[in-house]
Amino acid sequence: MRSTEIDERFLNRELSWLAFNERVLQLASEPGIPLLERAKFCAIASTNLDEFFQVRVAALKDQLIAGIDQPTWDGRTPAQQLAAIAVWVPEMIERLDDAFVDHLVPELRAAGVEIIGWEDTTPAERVELDDFYEERMFPVLTPLAVDPGHPFPYISDLALSLAVNVADPETGDRRFARLKVPDVFPRLIECSPGRFLPAELVIGAKLDRLFVGMVVENWATFRVSRNGDLTVEDEEADDLLEAVEMELRRRRFNQAVRLEVAADIGDEILDLLVRELDLSREDVTLHRSPLDLSCLSQLMSLDRPDLKDTPWPPATAGRIAAADEGDRPIFDVVRHRAAMLHHPYESFSSSIEEFISQAADDSKVQSIKMTLYRAGGDSAIIRSLMKAADRGKQVAVLVEIKARFDEATNVQWAKQLERAGVHVVYGMVGLKTHSKVVLVVRDDGDQLRRYVHIGTGNYNSKTARNYEDIGVITCDPDIGADAAQLFNHLTGYSRAHDYSTLLVAPRDLRRQLLDLIEHEASFGAEGEIVMKCNSIADDEMVEALYAASEAGVRIELLVRGICCLRAGVPGMSENIRVRSILGRYLEHSRIYRFKHGNVVVNGRLPGAQSDEVYLIGSADLMPRNLNRRVEVLVPIEHARHRAWLDQAINFQLADGIVCWELQPDDTWQRMGPTDVFAPHPQEQMYRWAVEQQTPPRG
């Protein structure tokens, strides 16, 4: 193993992600959060960890196998990172088990929601469970034996399974069998009102029905995480869609990277699983909780409002609501003045979905172009696009079929759109298209106008209810012209040109952001930078922020997840404060504000009445966003829209709120009252946003 020196100027990306998931897990123990919401955060932390192993740990293991020992810019080799992860993850799982088993389970029981074991069931419940097993479970269970005639079966990624040891009472032969827990029935079976039994415990109690005449010696649950990477050499692929579909089939058989097992598993079964899956004991995690706590999300369907967050119904943005009352299309609203939208405080369905629906129905609309990164399942937007094509409009959609873990969904949407007559592009060679842009061309009578939506979030109605995102709909001629050139570049063969308004990666965005940071540094203590994003993990950006801090610039960073920058370190980052806001909504918007940014962005004056520059868009400060993705940021120029962004930022930077702050010793400290989950900036933002709808705002 290569010996390297850790660079104390940077935090490791993978360990920073684990610190983020620790913050998510802390929400499961917050006394001010309702019980079922706390259970949901256990589910989220569990699912996050799955993806971490499928993507990040898998990538590090691939580097080891390939003999790559190049350290990351924090100085750690792949082997050193894996060693640190191997120490951190078991401790995280122990805290997850403690939050769920030792605290949530008894607290839920006291509130009338029980997660029980087979031994806790009543005679009446066992009668019901017997019937459920015979009718719904037994017919779909398939035990797979391992013996000289039956090799060890393939274990699919993230599938929950039972490992069973059985013995023949006549011959004394002992055999191992694997039994997959199908997902065709609920994972948590409600055996009586408010009492839930995990499905694997029902199956475990009924193993004699599957192994008739055999003695079931012992059994345990287990689960395998596999490498989730999709390797598509799109430069060499003749048909990118076909190449992605082939890789999706191959991915099922990728290398196992983690084995989760019940804490009480026997050594005999564990040794067999480790051996057959080609893993080591270091790849095993032991759990007292049921494996795969994502099942806890099922409890959110219970009719227990007392155990859930008070609903925050989204408002319809004031000007759109007023237009709807007057039966005016959104185009009329935007032609008067651009509309900025803040989801989920403001409704996604009555704004973005309605905008695209109206475009599909409007006889004056001639063409619709858009990018789709994660559209989700049942999509009103995609239905509108297909309707538009059916009505003879020119519709072109760039579907990013390499969006991780959404590849299969996006492939299916791409095929449906093509069958409906939509012109579909599958992304760009060598790049992912992560930008969120819609371009609608409409004949307004006096002229053709381009109406553009640019946002920070996906065109996905499901995530729009839980992800905090911002977007703007405008018919600004410069933005429209830039958007048209962007789509020509994405769908055709035109070369990237100099955009007059938009900031676009990968060609220009890195340089432009660095110019803005360096320009702000020239103002010393008069300078101010505010950045709100999901992650900061680019060394060049971090170094530029350090230099600005040393020049005296006040820097406020709102970073939900990964942050490789160290905060508040004397002589390096004493003028930088980093906060992480976690709560009901997933903070997903990207906002970049520079106090003296004027004349730096594309050589123009984005705000004639102010030196300040406000940018929103799809890009985080990570190498993948700046180097390997098509990203778009747009300046926000209207005074009311800037004031809205200021208010959103101010709520999150205020003193006394619930948040986490990165300390000079690299730990994250929870701030605000500890006995309640308030004041919380998301609740403050919601109540303020609702108040702004009367009278209508810009």
Helix (H) or strand (E) holding 246: helix 240-251
Rg of the Cα trace of the chain? 27
- Domain residue ranges in the chain: 323-491, 503-691
Written as one string, the DSSP assignment of 5-53 is ---TTB--HHHHHHHHHHHHHHGGG-TTS-HHHHHHHHHHHHHHHHHII
Give the class (CATH, top level) of 323-491: alpha beta
Residues 533-573 pLDDT 10s: 999 999 999 999 999 999 999 999 999 999 999 999 999 99
Written as one string, the DSSP assignment of 259-293 is EEEETT--HHHHHHHHHHTT--GGGEEEESSPS-G
Low-confidence ranges of the chain (pLDDT < 70): 1-4, 148-149, 230-253, 325-326, 403, 405-406, 493-496, 599-600, 602-610, 694-698
CA distance 222 to 153: 14
Residue at token pair 């699912």 = 47
pLDDT of residue 151: 84
pLDDT of residue 406: 66
Q: Phi first, then psi: what are they for 400, rounded to 5°?
A: -80, 95
pLDDT of residue 122: 97
CA distance 82 to 89: 10
Amino acid at the residue 365: V
pLDDT of residue 475: 98
The active-site residue out of 287, 342, 343, 434 is 434
CA distance 138 to 582: 42
pLDDT of residue 523: 96
Same CATH topology for 323-491 and 503-691: the answer is yes
For residues 223-261, b (16+ Cβ closer than 10 Å) or e, as one string?
bbbbbbbbebebeebeebbebbbebeeebeebebbbbbb
pLDDT of residue 229: 74
Q: Is 434 a catalytic residue?
A: yes
CA distance 457 to 102: 37
For residues 280-304, b (16+ Cβ closer than 10 Å) or e, as one string?
eeebbbbbebbbbbbbbbebeebeb
Q: What tokens does 103 get?
A: 């605290």
CA distance 508 to 529: 20
Q: How many Cβ atoms sit within 10 Å of the Cβ of residue 656?
A: 10
CA distance 620 to 629: 11
Question: Does CATH place domain 503-691 in 3.30.870.10?
Answer: yes
Provide, for the chain, the percentages of residues in helix, strand and coil under a 3-state DSSP scheme, each rounded to the nearest 5.
40, 20, 35
